[in-house]
Amino acid sequence: MPKPRIAPQHLRPHPFRQLLGYARPFSRLFAGVIVLVIIYNLTQVIQPYLVKVAIDRYLLVNTPALAPLIQIGAAYLAMTLVGLLANLYQTRVIASAGQQIVRQIRIDLFSHIESLSMDYFETHDTGRLITNVASDTTRISQFFTQFLLSVIRDGVTIILVMGAMLFLNWKLGLLSALVIPLIVVISAIFRPRLHKIYDITRSRQSRLIGFIAENLSGMRITQIFHQEAKQLEALTQLNLPYQMANVNEFRWDVFFNRTLDLLGNLAVAFMAWAGGLAVFHHAIKIGVLYAFISYIQQFFEPINSLTQNWNTLQSSMISFERVSQVLTTPSTLEDPVAPVPLEQSGDIHRIRGQIDFDRVSFGYDPEHLILQNITMHVAPGQFIGIAGETGAGKSTLISLLARFYDVSSGAIRIDGIDIRTLRQEDLHRLVGVVQQDVTIYSGTIADNVRLFHNDVGRQQIVWACKITGADSFIRQFREGYDTWLTPHGSNLSAGQRQLLAFARIILLNPKILVLDEATANLDALTEATVQKGLMEVARERTTVVIAHRLSTLRHADRIYLLDHGRIVEQGTHQELLALNGFYYAMLQKSVIMPGAGPERRDAVN
């Protein structure tokens, strides 16, 4: 995975400089663009001059000559063609550079988001992230394809046109230059206002997208609870302000641009008047007046475009700031600076799978501890059960072992190594977690079992699926292992998804296997199949099983009973029964209501 090329916060330059940093690898392309732009602009400036020469030297004379006029016409045409080509290439080159840059930003952004710890995703809404990755990056590309291009092109145009005017008649030229401060004042008045309006639109938009993203992923719940009308109402509530903001933005945009247009037309009128007087008094020739009127129009275009692109700059900056906020969010679970090296697979294999929780406490919110003073020692190869009511903290305990979160105090060690000193990549190869909700990706069944490990062959996949008992249902599909699955796994039952998850784990072959209510979705028959396969898998590794059905834990070497974040009882099934305490009471309950554990979520899944 490429490391994001972003420095820590205090070392970071202004977003603008940072953006330019992304452009640095393309500096030659940009230099090429500048050359093309100059060529293009020269052709544009020369054209009115050619007409001026034609008028003054060959038309408004006593004996107009045809041959030079044809030559001038040909030169004019040539200028048009050269200008066209230069314009075409400059646009193409800059678009390609812009897209490559934004591709890099998108990759940096996505790979950074992937590295963030789970609590980031719990505290930030996905819609915002989707906006970041999708539309913010597009807006950033406009910085290059529109703003930067405009600065170069329009800057050069203004300089050349100004130069041509001063060359033709410096007095009229200076008079025309008077219009520049006027334009600056007008945009200084409009600019802050436009900026604010733009910001409002964007934040309303991302709220709307966020809402839609959340609803699409929660559609099932919406439909089950018949909340369609209510959600639609909520959408309407978000949609209206967004619409208003857009209309408002449009209104101000038009107002601003028409004000500039008006100024442009006034300038032309003024030039016609002042220049006309000059012609009348024979101070200048009529061709010069023609050239001036052309130039002052040419002059307005780039200034107008520059101020318009000021908006683009603003929006790119806002987008980039937002993106760089994400980019600079430190992954709270940083890899250690000097990790315990487990690079060679030999080292990984040397790990035996001993787990120690040493007085571990943890709270999602530091004020409110979910786990308190948990101490557990699991010898390599043991089969450990964790039981407890819903909300007792069982899943939290597992999240800590897989280091989705860091402990608030205490330590978790694997073979005596504090997991915070391991590289996360290594840790996740050591600890395999199967949860109740299995994530299915778009792809074939084989892809879903192999999970990004492209070197895993078909034979291994089938072997793993046979162990878990998934093979028999997979063969019933017409396309077998090539059956296409969709992210929500709608063509698989919850139990079948679970069996695939087990097959994944077998291929991953972790030293420590954790099952979090993994069999809760299975019917009794399937569970028996899985149980058999699991016993096979569990034999070579340390296995921690969280189960609501206590029967699953009957053969565990030791069972820890968790209540309100504390270990209240521990021992084998027999020992715990003899205690006649929590465990005994739980077992009684589950015997009375077989299969009706509070965490059975078959209805939803």
Ligand X SMILES: Nc1ncnc2c1ncn2[C@@H]1O[C@H](COP(=O)(O)OP(=O)(O)O)[C@@H](O)[C@H]1O
Exposure string over 238-258, b if 16+ CB within 10 A, otherwise e: beeebeebeeebeebbeebee
DSSP code at position 368? B
Min CB(447)–ligand X separation in Å: 29
Min CB(557)–Mg ion separation in Å: 22
Q: Residue 390 binds which one of ligand X, Mg ion, none, with CB within 5 to 8 A depending on kind?
A: ligand X
Min CB(394)–ligand X separation in Å: 3
The size of the chain, in residues, is 605
Identify whether the C-beta of residue 511 lies closer than 8 Å to the C-beta of residue 541.
yes
Q: Residue 396 binds which one of ligand X, Mg ion, none, with CB within 5 to 8 A depending on kind?
A: ligand X
The binding track of 101-130 with respect to ligand X, each residue x by CB under 6 A or -, is ---------------------x--------
Residue number, 90 or 395, with CB nearest to ligand X: 395
Min CB(601)–ligand X separation in Å: 12
Return the residue matching tokens 């247009």: 261
Q: Residue 30 binds which one of ligand X, Mg ion, none, with CB within 5 to 8 A depending on kind?
A: none
C-alpha distances (whole Å) from 157 to each of 50, 309, 384, 600 are: 17, 15, 76, 71
Q: Residue 392 binds which one of ligand X, Mg ion, none, with CB within 5 to 8 A depending on kind?
A: ligand X
Identify whether the C-beta of residue 537 lies closer than 8 Å to the C-beta of residue 499.
no
Rounded to 5°, the CA angle 473-475-478 comes to 110
Residue number, 513 or 520, with CB nearest to ligand X: 520
Report residue 595 CA to chain centroid gap: 42
Q: Residue 503 binds which one of ligand X, Mg ion, none, with CB within 5 to 8 A depending on kind?
A: none
Select from 201, 229, 231 the least CA-distant residue to 214: 231
Return the residue matching tokens 């069944």: 445
Q: How many helices (H) and strands (E) does the chain have?
A: 22, 12
Per rule CB under 6 A, is residue 436 in the interface with ligand X? no
Q: Which of 364, 404, 582, 584 binds ligand X (CB under 6 A)?
A: 364
The binding track of 345-384 with respect to Mg ion, each residue x by CB under 5 A or -, is ----------------------------------------
What is the sign of the dihedral through the CA atoms of 403, 406, 412 and 413? Answer: positive
Window 490-519: residues binding ligand X (CB under 6 A) = none
Q: In what order do the strands lie in the sheet with 417-418?
A: 371-378, 355-362, 409-414, 417-418
Residue number, 97 or 392, with CB nearest to ligand X: 392
Per rule CB under 6 A, is residue 597 in the interface with ligand X? no
The three-class DSSP label of residue 149 is: helix
Residue number, 336 or 598, with CB nearest to ligand X: 598
Site size for ligand X (CB under 6 A): 11
Instruction: Work out the end-to-end distance of the chain between its first and last CA atoms, rounded to an integer number of angstroms.
Output: 33
**3-class SS letters over 287-347:** HHHHHHHHHHHHHHHHHHHHHHHHHHHHHHHHHHHHHHHHHCCCCCCCCCCCCCCCCCHHH
What is the sign of the dihedral through the CA atoms of 499, 500, 506 and 511? Answer: negative
Per rule CB under 5 A, is residue 399 in the interface with Mg ion? no
Select from 116, 115, 151 the least CA-distant residue to 19: 151
Per rule CB under 5 A, is residue 395 in the interface with Mg ion? yes
Window 175-214: residues binding ligand X (CB under 6 A) = none
Min CB(104)–ligand X separation in Å: 33
* Partners of 272 in beta bridges: none
Min CB(546)–ligand X separation in Å: 7
Site size for Mg ion (CB under 5 A): 1
Residue number, 169 or 543, with CB nearest to ligand X: 543
Min CB(368)–Mg ion separation in Å: 18
Select from 581, 210, 272 the least CA-distant residue to 571: 581
Residue number, 176 or 395, with CB nearest to Mg ion: 395
Per rule CB under 6 A, is residue 370 in the interface with ligand X? yes
Scanning 18-26, 282-290, 389-397, 496-504 for contacts with Mg ion by CB under 5 A, the matching segment is 389-397
Min CB(534)–Mg ion separation in Å: 18
Q: Which of 43, 150, 312, 396 binds ligand X (CB under 6 A)?
A: 396
Min CB(573)–ligand X separation in Å: 19
Residue number, 391 or 410, with CB nearest to ligand X: 391
DSSP of 459-525: HHHHHHHHHHTHHHHHHHSTTGGG-EE-TT-TTS-HHHHHHHHHHHHHHH--SEEEEESTTTTS-HH
Residue number, 395 or 542, with CB nearest to ligand X: 395
Q: How many CB atoms lie within 10 A of CB 231?
A: 17
The values of phi and psi at residue 225, to 5°, are -95, 15
Q: Residue 122 binds which one of Mg ion, ligand X, none, with CB within 5 to 8 A depending on kind?
A: ligand X
Min CB(119)–Mg ion separation in Å: 17
The binding track of 376-395 with respect to ligand X, each residue x by CB under 6 A or -, is ------------x-xxxxxx
Task: Give CA–CA dist 211/196, Å, rounded.
Answer: 23
Task: List contacts with Mg ion (CB under 5 A).
Answer: 395
Provide the binding-site residues for ligand X, judged by CB under 6 A.
122, 364, 370, 388, 390-396
